[in-house]
Structure 1
Amino acid sequence: MPEAALPATARRDARVACVHEWLTEWGGSEDAFRLILACFPGAQAFATIDHLSAADRQRLAAAGPIRTTFLQNAPAVARRFWNYLPVTALAVESHDVGDADIVVSSSHAFAKGVLTRADQFHVSYVYSPMRYAWDLHREYLRDYGLDRGAKGWLARLLFKRLRAWDRQTANNVDLFVAISRHVQQRIWRTYRRPSRLIYPAVRVERLRMETHKEDHYVTVSRLVNYKRIDLMLEAFRQMPSRKLVVIGDGPEMPALRRRCPPNVELRGRLPDEAVEAALQSARAFLFAAHEDFGISPVEAQACGTPVIAYGAGGSLETLRPLGGAAEAPTGLHFPEQTAASLAAAVQAFEDAGPVFDPHACREFAEGFSEARFQREFRDCVAQGWDAWKQDPRALESRLCDGPAADPLPFVRGWAQP
């Protein structure tokens, strides 16, 4: 929504504070935070710590100084932030947002726990309820070697306390905004609160479409257990005539190198230009994780590349599947998180022939543009601010669109952004 269309109270009088988690590496949530700050020029910006590289920090230059917490100068905090989880909630609660009328938290763990007063309107844009405390705590314990022994018991105790804190601090949020219908369901299950859906932005404006495709498949991912890159390697071991390029790094890299078949290339982390070139030239992008949204599949479609994705979570909303109700499919789903299911999907993709049009992929991806996100987010906050001032009790019934009465509405078909 253009600034001129915003209610006068939201445009001129309201002071805004934007609170993010921690700033160490640039990722999808940091890019969303950048756009949220751009929605509210002059807003105060807060983060638990700010240790971005000079290049990444420049992306937030327009926001001015980032106000941090007592953890900013803690020893090795940028590299070992997980060691400070027991005091991160306390750090977030130390943010002083007392000058703001509207507080916007950008949260995948702690940020929504910022303390606000009864006369402040708090909107929380939620990428996920705290995943390592809820859905994926066993996977995180295994990934970081905390699934046994005394450290394992201490980690489980910490997660138990974090779950209680996470649920309690949901009471301090006036309006939840979710990144996908899948996350709307998780917000409801975790906090018993409805939410508004606004898909995150994808940098489609900066990606170029390519119609010429080569003979390889590609995936771009952080190499951690739940991304299921191991599943892809096993699937391509069963398809020696197919080629797979894996871009990314992470704690799973040593194990993946040991089991990597000769037709799979592990390239590690690459510059943005090289990633874009790989996305443009691939026959299809592979996505095997059960994710809350998934930026990379949309980026692949922006490059004109169809997607083969595990049919669960956010993947059900980020492509138009072959065989679905809509025309011009942009990919297909595989039903089970197994190597055999993925291999069958790759074969189905090959059998489908030229049905996947790069132009259709690009058109679908453009529905997730940055301009669309900023318009919807400004509109949501402005509407929420006015509704909250009129009657806070009616706010959610007026603005929220999920969860629907159907407990799994998104499995009925793809959701148009």
Structure 2
Amino acid sequence: MTELVLAHDYLVQVGGAERVVAEWAAGFGATQIVALAYRPEKTFEAFRDLEVRASIPVAMSGQVERMLPALPAIAARTTVSGGDVALASSSGWAHRFRYEMPHVVYVHSPARWLYAADDYRLRLSRVRRAGLALSTPVLRRGDAEAMARATAVVANSEVTRERIRAAYGLDSIVVHPPVEPVATDAAPPTRDLPDGFAVVVARDRGYKNVRLAVDAAREAGLAIVAIGAGSEAIDDPKSGVHGLGRVSDAELCWVYRHASVVLGAGREDFGLTVLEAALEGTPAATIAAGGYLETVRPGVSGVYATSGTASDLAEAIGFARALDPAVVREWGQRFRRDAHVARLDRLIHEVVQRA
């Protein structure tokens, strides 16, 4: 039996990439994961059942994103061992680890701080932006060399496949992420919410475009619930904006089930949340770009806005709300974990046989 070791950039948040790794642990029965940093209280509970090996001490793990200048060196010294093959989840770091066995790299996106700098640098100070700009050529060379060492490269979407080709000159195989209901039992949030509302699930970062989702919901005459780290900053219940911050999976499930529509306004590589909502019968209204072109089927599971403006997204909200929840749910079922694991398992066995 092939022993699989998992790897991930760092386990310090609740995000789509972390949820994918949690599904891998369940789907493959993996017991080991290697990461740069781990904060059990900040990420999915599923990781507490695994043997997590982190390179950065717990006391410093909360500052991992501030450690950018040192992370390439730390990643290069992070050893992945103890198995027959490794499956790495990377948005910029895990493919740089030192692998002592064949390894498959599953790319959520080439590192935004190197290849989508305008998005990433919005969050940095002027000094840090200048420093990153100066070091980018050297960092890109090291990044490309690390990716080229992968035994196989997998993209989470066609969008990401094109970005991998542009960044590294490598071809990759597309395997959509696994999507499961976020919880089996739903629990209402501690705060009362209105009967009809839209929901956006995203950390409040520039490329996520949460503000556009808020403006569109308002224009459509809907209250909006924003979920994700940083959404507390836009909390304004009197104006119909409910920024809940991080919530439990059971609470997120409740919100998905009771929302009139889920919004996608950011430049996503895949767009996991619209499928999580689809499994609960909730349609999507999104911009017609990025991963949403693969995760939303117009007229079936959602509606695309005709442009990236609040008014056009508001119009899409109106059309999406009329879709049949049963048909929406059926679309979401196409992306369940079993199909994802079966495809990756075949690829992993091919990698082991070639090694």
- Normalization by structure 2: what TM-score? 0.87
For 1:317-336, list aligned pairs within 5 A. Answer: 317-322=294-299, 329-336=300-307
Pairing 1:125–2:106 present: yes
Work out whether 1:262 is the aligned partner of 2:247. Answer: no
2:46 to 44, 59, 64: 59
Correspondences of 1:233-312 after superposition (within 5 Å): 233-239=214-220, 241-250=221-230, 253-254=232-233, 256=234, 262-312=239-289
* Structural RMSD (CA): 2.7
**Do the aligned partners of 2:9 and 2:90 also contact (CA within 8 Å) in 1?**
yes
- C-alpha spacing 1:363/1:266, structure 2 compared with 1 (3 Å): same
Identical pairs, percent? 25
How far apart, CA to CA, are the structure 2 residues paired with 1:272 and 1:45? 22
Q: Which residue of 2 aligns with 1:68?
A: 54
Does 2:101 align with 1:108?
no
Give 1:47 deviation, angstroms: 1.3
Distance 1:159 1:242, change over 3 A: same
Aligned residues: 348
C-alpha distance in 2 between matches for 1:178 and 1:94: 25
Structure 1: tracts of 5 or more residues without a match: 1-10, 323-328, 390-417
Q: 1:188 to 1:179 in 2, by over 3 A?
A: same
CA distance in 2, matches of 1:83, 1:206: 32
The worse-fitting range, judged by mean Cα deviation, of 24-33 and 79-88 is 24-33
Q: CA deviation at 1:291?
A: 0.2
What residue identity is the alignment partner of 1:279? Y
Structure 1 range deviating more: 197-206 or 120-129: 197-206
Q: Is the 8 A contact 1:335 1:341 kept in 2?
A: yes
Q: Which residue of 2 aligns with 1:215?
A: 196
**Residues 316 and 248 of structure 1, relative CA distance in 2, 3 Å threshold:** same
Greater Rg by CA = 1
Report the equivalent of 1:401: none
| Letter paired with 2:57 | Q
Residue 140 of structure 1 deviates from its aligned partner by 2.2
Q: CA deviation at 1:38?
A: 4.5
- What secondary structure sits across from 2:79 in the alignment? coil
Going from structure 1 to structure 2, the CA distance change for 1:36 and 1:300 (only over 3 Å counts) comes to closer
Higher RCO (CA-CA < 8 Å; seq separation 6+)? 1
> How far apart are the structure 1 equivalents of 2:25 and 2:152?
18
Q: Go from structure 1 to structure 2 and tell me whether the alpha carbon gap of 1:103 and 1:357 turns closer, same or farther (over 3 Å shift).
A: same
Looking at structure 1, the residues matched to 201 and 308 of structure 2 have their Cα atoms a distance apart, in angstroms, of 18
CA contact (8 A) 1:101 1:121 kept: yes
The one-letter amino acid paired with 2:206 is N
What TM-score do the two structures reach when normalised by structure 1? 0.75
Are residues 205 and 287 of structure 1, via their aligned partners in 2, closer, same or farther at CA, if it must alter by over 3 Å? closer
Q: For 2:26 and 2:251, how far apart are their aligned partners in 1?
A: 28
Unaligned regions of 5+ residues in structure 2, if any? Answer: 187-193
* Counterpart code for 1:60: F
CA contact (8 A) 1:237 1:261 kept: no
1:189 pairs, out of 166, 178, 190, with: 166
Structure 2 residue identity aligned to 1:102? V
* Partner secondary structure for residue 285 of structure 1: strand
Q: Write the distance in 2 (CA, Å) between the matches of 1:373 and 1:299.
A: 15
**1:230, distance to aligned residue in structure 2 (A):** 1.3
**Alignment deviations for residues 14-63 of structure 1 (CA, whole Å, 9 cap, x no partner):** 5543222112123322232233344555664311122222984x513443
Match of 1:163 among 120, 140, 157: 140
CA distance in 1, matches of 2:331, 2:185: 14
Q: 1:158 to 1:51 in 2, by over 3 A?
A: farther
